[in-house]
Amino acid sequence: MTDTIAIAHKDYDCRGGGEVFCRRLAEYLDCPMFVGRRNLTNEPDNSAIDITEIPLSRPEQWMIDRGGLTRTAAYMLRWPAAADQLSQFDTIITSGNEPLWWVPDDDQTVIAYTHSTPRYMYDLFNEKTDFQSLTGRLATVFYNAQRVLYETNVNRPDVWVANSELVARRIERYWNIDESQIEVVHPPVDTHEFSPEAAETDDYYLYLGRLAGAKCVDQVVAAFDELDAELVIAGTGSERERLEAMAGESVRFTGFVSEERKRELYAGARALIFPAQNEDFGMVPIEAMAAGTPVLGVRDGFTRFQVQPGECGLLWERGELAETVRAFERDGVTWSETEIATYAATNWSIGRFESEMQAVIDEATETTAVEVDLETPARGFECPIPQSAATDGGTE
């Protein structure tokens, strides 16, 4: 092998936080990326990253298309087959959990960047599993078995990198990884791409992100039914049809928006509403603050650490969003748009991400190098001949 590095990521088929992480890291390291699946329509037009899709068999494709537990099983079969491609690199940075099923060579350095432990198996297990139904009970059996399998796989990385202190705690608790093996590097947020000057502040509130169950967008829609305020929902997902059915006239759905339009929406909003359940990190609140926009975030997950209450936004308890919006309209926040944007840029940036990841890579490759300490004889050293060997030649 030559001194090379590559990234292994579950799928590159959407524009989520994991994909942003991989793209930024691959651009910085100028290294290739191996992915389970890719969707060219979701990749930036100016991307020059070398992306290789792991070959997929027909049974595995069928299992992935079915979703749920069968999809998880497909990834368990798929990533070990990537060994031929990944073994040619000295260092592999895995992104997400699925590449952990791959078995590295003994002389490879493995850095596992973790966006979260599998949520439906761990931190959301009790809340999301229907223990009374047959499907829920079968899922419980499968999750229990999968936990055992994960615990045998998570010992393979040399270094763990969590995307937040909250995820570091999950890795330690659920996978029994010693905290000394876990580093925290927040994901890259291009805070300089956003500005309060991108648009004049308008009279709407904004939700931006995927329309999925764990994002709890239905709670936002329900709250704005009680308010005399406009809500703009930007994003797509499986929940859109249900959300549109329950939304009132003051709620407007935009669907997918371009990066330019996203910057305008952030800057023009009175505030961003962020309701996600036990969020691992959350790039959206940081992007909004980089645009000088306050964040009304749920007091949950990592969101409660991002928002400084009363200064750059407000925190709300579940069921109290409408009341929080009224309080925000009455009292506002103390920081100016510029101060909010400075707060975001100071704590989160691409430059900070790159330097911290480089430090992790340097330390990991140095500490995992195999060294053998052997003594060498001094010059003029003569090997003593054992007495038995000296007399053997004279025996009959």
Distance in angstroms (rounded) separating the CA atoms of residues 219 and 231 = 12
Q: Are 176 and 40 within one domain? A: yes
Q: If you average pLDDT over every residue of the chain, what do you get? A: 87
Contact between 265 and 201 under an 8 Å Cβ cutoff? The reply is: no
Q: Are 64 and 204 within one domain? A: no
How large is the C-alpha radius of gyration of the chain?
26
Q: Are 199 and 139 within one domain? A: no
| pLDDT greater than 90 at residue 135 | no
Residue 328's domain spans which residues? 191-347
Q: Are 45 and 70 within one domain? A: yes
- Residue-wise burial string across 315-353, b where 16 or more C-beta atoms lie within 10 A, e elsewhere: bbeeeebbebbeebeeeebebebeebbbbbbeebbbebb
One-letter amino acid at 150 equals Y
Bridge partners, residue 297, by sequence: 274, 315
Q: Are 129 and 218 within one domain? A: no
Bridge partners, residue 396, by sequence: none
| pLDDT greater than 90 at residue 297 | yes
* Structure confidence at residue 58 (pLDDT): 78
Asked if residue 383 belongs to a domain, the reply is no
Three-class DSSP category at 234: strand
Give per-residue pLDDT as tens, 140-162: 777 777 777 777 766 789 999 99
Asked if residue 44 belongs to a domain, the reply is yes
Q: Are 179 and 197 within one domain? A: no
Model confidence band, residue 386 (pLDDT cutoffs 50, 70, 90): low
* Structure confidence at residue 82 (pLDDT): 85
Give per-residue pLDDT as tens, 324-352: 999 999 999 999 999 999 999 999 999 99
Q: Are 14 and 97 within one domain? A: yes
Asked if residue 84 belongs to a domain, the reply is yes
Q: Where are the beta strands (DSSP E) in 257-367?
A: 271-274, 295-298, 313-316
Give per-residue pLDDT as tens, 181-232: 999 999 999 999 999 998 888 999 999 999 998 899 999 999 999 999 999 9
Domain of 324: which CATH number?
3.40.50.2000
Distance in angstroms (rounded) separating the CA atoms of residues 243 and 22 = 31
Place of tokens 């229907």: 130
Q: Are 11 and 90 within one domain? A: yes
Q: Are 102 and 173 within one domain? A: yes
- Cα torsion 99, 103, 109, 113 to 10°: value is 20
Give per-residue pLDDT as tens, 237-295: 999 999 999 999 999 999 999 999 999 999 999 999 999 999 999 999 999 999 999 99
| pLDDT greater than 70 at residue 126 | no
Distance in angstroms (rounded) separating the CA atoms of residues 236 and 253 = 9
Total domains present in the chain: 2
| pLDDT greater than 80 at residue 46 | no
% of the chain exceeding 70 in pLDDT:
87
Q: Are 125 and 208 within one domain? A: no
